[in-house]
């Protein structure tokens, strides 16, 4: 949860902006002073102080207290200043006071929310996920314990024939594979994994007592990235896994993401829908797919320009990420259309989630020069097993979206049968 603290008496930021921050999923708390901030930060775990820069000259002791508290709490407390005037002198004062960002009034809610996001996300990176493939339970337990102490999340499989399904289930950042197992060798398993394009970029580290260099090179040729000889020092295992996982995560992010919104791109969204449908078939679960579209978006581009349109799309993408569940998978389908995969949600549940999103988006105020305006969106939903495949679900969601548009826009429609 993102918590923003506002000192009592700071009125310049405005109640409307604070309401916009709340719509974007940011909790705003009024505080009486620095002691209040220290108490709340300690109990919550992290917070951000949003302060009027006029206090720097008006109340130097107050600002000095902020600096001391920030020094003691480190990245658990972030500080942003705002002011009427934006010039070098004003910004220099805020930097000297410990400010990490500066905004001139009137503050654009989306830009401020983005900055708050970036400061909090520095602390909230997800732990690396590691899949260990080894037929020796003791070795699995040892490696799991070493990596868990380093803050990583591990899963394991002792039967190589189960690896592909585990890759779909756990979505690991990296694989640790034993070279010699009863059913097949690690090199053969790597060859099987590399046959599947969806797993082509996952790094594979082989673990083995094998010291024959030719055999090690041969294994790497089959699809491995590194060979570690047993016994392995814990620090060497952790550093090798972390280095490979970090690089892969960065590459995967840029390959899978839409350049404008940071959400999944069209291709990756469809791949993830296919995987989720397969998982739902195996488990007997339900899953819904929703398409949402900004109403009359072409008019916005023509009236306010494409830069404003881009900012609105980023605003919606942020709202999608905040308002939907952590288990939901969100992407930009194309243009002003977005797609959301909702595992475990039937049509009724999905309609409620998307309708809440529709309501929130309608209350967001967008700014262009001195003008402010709001927009609406429409949504269409289709669910599995009403529709049995990803293509069927996408086509049905598209039909539902057209019904919502034809019905007057600013609404959500559900497709329940084939047309």
CATH number for the domain harbouring residue 46: 3.40.50.2300
**22-26, 177-181, 267-271, 352-356: which range is least confident on average?**
22-26
279 and 395, same structural domain? yes
Long-range interactions of 189-192: CB distance < 8 A, separation 24+: 189/133, 189/160, 189/163, 190/219, 190/222, 190/223, 190/224, 191/222, 191/223, 192/163, 192/164
327 and 283, same structural domain? yes
| CATH number (domain holding residue 309) | 3.30.70.270
How far apart CA 413 and CA 411 sit, in angstroms, is 7
- Please, how many CA atoms are within 13 Å of residue 93, restricted to the half-sphere of its CB? 18
User: How far is residue 174 from each of residues 145, 297, 346, measured CA to CA in Å?
Assistant: 16, 41, 33
Percent of the chain whose predicted confidence (pLDDT) is above 90: 38
User: Tell me: the pLDDT tens digits for 1-17?
Assistant: 688 888 877 777 777 78
Highest mean pLDDT among 15-29, 47-61, 290-304: 290-304
117 and 135, same structural domain? no
User: Tell me: the pLDDT tens digits for 384-406?
Assistant: 999 989 999 999 999 999 999 99
**How many Å is the maximal CA-CA distance in the chain?**
75
**Does residue 315 register a pLDDT over 60?**
yes
Last residue of a domain, one of 80, 96, 121: 121
User: pLDDT band for position 228 (50/70/90)?
Assistant: confident
pLDDT of residue 354: 96
Kind of pairing, strands 287-294 and 377-384?
antiparallel
405 and 271, same structural domain? yes
User: pLDDT band for position 261 (50/70/90)?
Assistant: confident
**Does residue 376 register a pLDDT over 90?**
yes
Last residue of a domain, one of 256, 280, 302: 256
Last residue of a domain, one of 103, 121, 139: 121
291 and 207, same structural domain? no
Residue 261 resides in a domain: no
158 and 115, same structural domain? no
325 and 309, same structural domain? yes
pLDDT of residue 419: 55
Full residue range of the structural domain in which residue 60 is found: 2-121
Total domains in the fold of the chain: 3
**Mean per-residue pLDDT, 176-185:** 87
287 and 393, same structural domain? yes
User: pLDDT band for position 19 (50/70/90)?
Assistant: confident
148 and 112, same structural domain? no
List, in order, residues 6 or more apart from 106 with CB less than 8 Å away: 14, 17, 367
List, in order, residues 6 or more apart from 33 with CB less than 8 Å away: 7, 8, 62, 65
248 and 350, same structural domain? no
How far apart CA 196 and CA 145 sit, in angstroms, is 30
User: pLDDT band for position 22 (50/70/90)?
Assistant: confident
If you average pLDDT over every residue of the chain, what do you get? 87
User: Tell me: the pLDDT tens digits for 41-91?
Assistant: 777 778 888 888 988 888 888 888 888 888 888 778 888 999 988 999 989
Residue 419 resides in a domain: no
Cβ atoms of residues 3 and 44 within 8 Å:
yes
228 and 336, same structural domain? no
**105-119, 173-187, 277-291, 340-354: which range is least confident on average?**
105-119
**Mean per-residue pLDDT, 236-252:** 84
pTM: 0.61
**Does residue 125 register a pLDDT over 70?**
no
**Mean per-residue pLDDT, 117-144:** 83
pLDDT of residue 1: 66
């Amino acid at each position: 949860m993102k918590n923003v603290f506002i000192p009592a008496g700071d009125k310049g930021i405005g109640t409307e902006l604070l309401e916009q921050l709340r719509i974007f999923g940011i909790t705003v708390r009024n505080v009486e002073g620095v002691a209040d901030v220290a108490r709340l930060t300690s109990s919550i775990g992290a917070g951000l102080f949003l302060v009027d820069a006029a206090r720097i000259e008006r109340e130097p002791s107050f600002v000095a207290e902020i600096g001391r508290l920030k020094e003691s709490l480190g990245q658990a407390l972030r500080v942003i200043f705002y002011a009427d005037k934006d010039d070098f002198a004003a910004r220099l004062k805020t930097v000297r006071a410990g400010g990490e960002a500066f905004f001139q009034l009137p503050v654009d809610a989306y830009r401020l929310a983005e900055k708050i996001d970036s400061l909090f996300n520095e602390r909230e990176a997800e732990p690396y996920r590691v899949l260990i493939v080894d037929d020796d339970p003791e070795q699995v337990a040892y490696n799991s314990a070493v990596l868990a102490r380093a803050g990583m999340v591990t899963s394991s499989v002792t039967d190589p024939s189960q690896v592909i399904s585990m890759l779909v289930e756990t979505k690991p950042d990296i694989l640790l594979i034993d070279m010699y197992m009863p059913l097949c060798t690690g090199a053969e398993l790597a060859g099987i994994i590399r046959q599947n394009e969806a797993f082509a970029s996952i790094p594979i580290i082989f673990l083995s007592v094998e010291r024959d260099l030719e055999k090690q090179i041969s294994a790497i040729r089959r699809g491995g990235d590194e060979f570690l000889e047993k016994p392995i020092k814990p620090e060497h295992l952790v550093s090798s896994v972390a280095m490979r996982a970090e690089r892969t995560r960065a590459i995967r992010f840029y390959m899978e993401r839409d350049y404008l919104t940071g959400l999944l791109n069209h291709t990756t969204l469809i791949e993830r829908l296919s995987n989720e449908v397969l998982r739902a078939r195996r488990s007997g679960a339900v899953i819904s797919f929703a398409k949402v579209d900004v109403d009359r978006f072409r008019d916005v581009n023509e009236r306010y320009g494409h830069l404003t349109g881009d900012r609105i799309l980023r605003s919606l993408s942020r709202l999608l990420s905040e308002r939907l569940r952590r288990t939901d998978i969100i992407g930009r389908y194309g243009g002003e259309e977005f797609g959301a995969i909702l595992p475990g949600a039937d049509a009724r549940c999905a309609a409620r989630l998307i309708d809440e999103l529709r309501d929130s988006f309608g209350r967001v105020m967008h700014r262009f020069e001195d003008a402010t305006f709001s927009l609406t969106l429409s949504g269409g939903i289709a669910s599995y097993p009403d529709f049995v495949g990803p293509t069927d679900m996408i086509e049905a969601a598209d039909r539902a979206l057209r019904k919502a548009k034809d019905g007057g826009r600013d609404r959500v429609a559900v497709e329940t049968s084939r047309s």
